[in-house]
Amino acid sequence: MTSTKLISFICPSRNLNIIKSFLDNIEATVKHPAVVECLFKLDEDQVEAKPFIEAEIAKRPFTIKYILTPRLNGVSATGVACNDLFTIFKPDAYFIQVISDEVRFETMHWDEILKKYVGYFPDHVFRLRMSQFKFRTCPNLFNCNQIPDSFPIYTKQWLYLALGLGTHCWASDIINQFIAYHLSLGEQGYKYHNTPFYDTGINRDVQLLDIKFEGLEFGVGVSAEIQKNRGLWVRQLWNKNMSHYHQEHFSYVAKRISSYIWARANNLQRFTLYKNTLKKTVQVIDEAGVLQREVSYRLPRLNFFCANMIRKVKVAAVEMKIWGEGIYMPPTNWVLGKINSVLDKLYPYKELRLTRFLQNRKSLSFMKPMVDDLVRLNNEMPVEKIGRVKKSAIVYFITIRGLFNNILDTIQLALVGPPPGISDKRSLLGLFGGSRWPKALIPVSDKDQQWALDAIKKQNEAYKQMENAIIVVCDDGFKMKMAGEENTPSPKNPASTSAEDAMLL
């Protein structure tokens, strides 16, 4: 089935006059208004917002939809707004763009040009880069924070495989720059994420050269006080993005995309992309429940701990003007290289699994997702092939490691703290609070904070449904069968898990 629109614009704003100018620009430059959809998030504290947008809906020749929600604390909460628009309206367009209300099209009939990019890749998974950074590559992970391609245009397929716009960061452009980086590292990215030596990398970034824009700058005309406050927020955001917990998630999403690309290249028409949290792998399971492919998204914790600690020391040293790069970097790189070499020899990546023993222990119900993963692994390791002794040894080793990783992930999640723009007073074991954001300049009521927490919970639930969906290939992409519609295949038992309502992509 074909998408009903060419492009959906997602735009959070409270500047009604600028929104009007934005809509005027689209109407003046587009050739076929019917192919355009604009989704706006407006602030409910503006009494004039609703009559304004209703009047615009009545007179514009293209589709406009909107939501009125709490303002929260401005730019750092735009992620909540964008994810709300994405999960509520489920844009039915081939392309989706998160855009500022200040961006303007300079090219006439840009929709005719954009239409030429439909099907640029036969599996319809790519993004168009349009900013001043469109020709830049990121030589390391941290650069993804600094020079993401602002306002990229995604295919709908890309965003659904990436599980939406992401709740890890208010800037969806940064999130997707990290995803593109991990995608470019190839299937051995867990080994090579910090070196230039990798193969089988996938690049699905396309430079958009024939449509011109203006207004791509960020923060123009903002007061010095707000700029200083944003600087504090951005530094905290960058540090959180570089945490092992967040980076492993970006690696996971990249492996979802690469696994889908592999499945399409190998003519699989109906399959599930399954996240095995114990093995930290993405599995491609066909409609018969047979495991067709498996790739790891695991990243080494020590690398990120060391890299983040060193970076923070360097930043502090630069600020105190005592850093000498030529003095500290060579020995630091040598030590990290030796540590990585030793760890690769002593602790190579291994397959994981558990026993049905845990399945019968009601007291361990909180471990049900882990137990389900271990049952899957049990089916993948027939005792006839490897022998009971080897199988038992692997099971116990994986059980211990899986539990240990689960505990560390739980602690990491607590210490990373709440999503951007959200106040959360919870603490770990009543002792340690999560990383705090700088004080916001815009006061937010407890009621609005609770609304935001509830909204993020709903968004994550919607993305969880996407994560567990069955993928059915169509002529122009794919559609997802979600829980409740039909059974999800699993190894040895094609009807064991159930999947929700069909969502056309």
What CATH number does residue 23 fall under? 3.90.550.10
Highest averaged pLDDT of the listed ranges 67-76, 195-204, 289-298? 289-298
Q: What does the DSSP 8-state code read for residue 363?
A: G
- In this prediction, residues 384-400 reach a mean pLDDT of 69
More confident call, 422 vs 495? 422
Tokens of 27: 């109407």
| Pairing, β 270-276 against β 470-474 | antiparallel
Closest C-alpha among 140, 142, 116 to residue 128: 116
Decide if 414 is inside a domain: no
Q: What is the pLDDT of residues 424-460, one digit of tens each?
A: 666 655 556 666 777 777 788 888 888 888 888 899 8
pLDDT grade for 498, boundaries at 50, 70 and 90 = very low
- Please give the residue range of the domain that contains residue 205: 5-209+232-257
pLDDT at 39 over 90: yes
Q: How far apart are CA 43 and CA 289, in angstroms?
A: 47
Q: How far apart are CA 33 and CA 63, in angstroms?
A: 8
First-to-final CA distance of the chain: 9
Q: What does the DSSP 8-state code read for residue 476?
A: T
More confident call, 286 vs 235? 286
Q: Is the dihedral of CA 248, 254, 257, 263 positive or negative?
A: negative
For the ranges 14-18, 356-360, 380-384, 421-425, the lowest mean pLDDT is seen at 356-360
| Pairing, β 5-12 against β 93-98 | parallel
- When divided into structural domains, the chain yields a total of 1
Q: How far apart are CA 493 and CA 290, in angstroms?
A: 9
Tokens 């059974």 belong to residue: 487
Closest C-alpha among 94, 373, 123 to residue 263: 123
Decide if 383 is inside a domain: no
pLDDT at 192: 53
pLDDT at 266 over 90: yes
- In this prediction, residues 67-86 reach a mean pLDDT of 87
Tokens 């992401």 belong to residue: 166
User: At 493, which helix (H) or strand (E)?
Assistant: strand 493-498
Question: According to the 3-state scheme, what is the secondary structure of 23-72?
Answer: HHHHHHHCCCHHHEEEEEEEECCCCCHHHHHHHHHHHCCCEEEEEEECCC
Closest C-alpha among 395, 400, 432 to residue 413: 432
Q: What is the pLDDT of residues 172-186, one digit of tens each?
A: 889 999 999 999 888
Q: What is the pLDDT of residues 286-334, one digit of tens each?
A: 999 999 999 999 988 888 888 888 888 877 777 766 655 556 667 766 7
pLDDT at 389 over 60: no
- In this prediction, residues 414-428 reach a mean pLDDT of 69
pLDDT at 26 over 60: yes
Decide if 351 is inside a domain: no
Name the average pLDDT for the chain: 81
Q: What is the pLDDT of residues 454-497, one digit of tens each?
A: 888 899 889 988 888 888 888 778 888 876 665 544 444 433 33
Decide if 248 is inside a domain: yes
More confident call, 204 vs 132? 204
pLDDT at 106 over 90: yes
pLDDT at 492: 42
Decide if 81 is inside a domain: yes
22 contacts 48 by C-beta, under 8 angstroms: no
pLDDT at 268 over 50: yes
What percent of the chain has a predicted confidence (pLDDT) above 90? 36
More confident call, 347 vs 164? 164
pLDDT grade for 254, boundaries at 50, 70 and 90 = very high
What percent of the chain has a predicted confidence (pLDDT) above 70? 77
Torsion of CA 459, 142, 100, 70, to 10 degrees: 40
Decide if 302 is inside a domain: no
Question: According to the 3-state scheme, what is the secondary structure of 115-154?
Answer: HCCCCCCCCCCCEEECCCCCCCCCCCHHHHHHCCCCCCEE
Contacts of 148 (CB under 8 A, 6+ apart): 133, 171, 173, 174, 176, 177
User: For residue 358, which amino acid is it?
Assistant: L
- In this prediction, residues 185-205 reach a mean pLDDT of 68
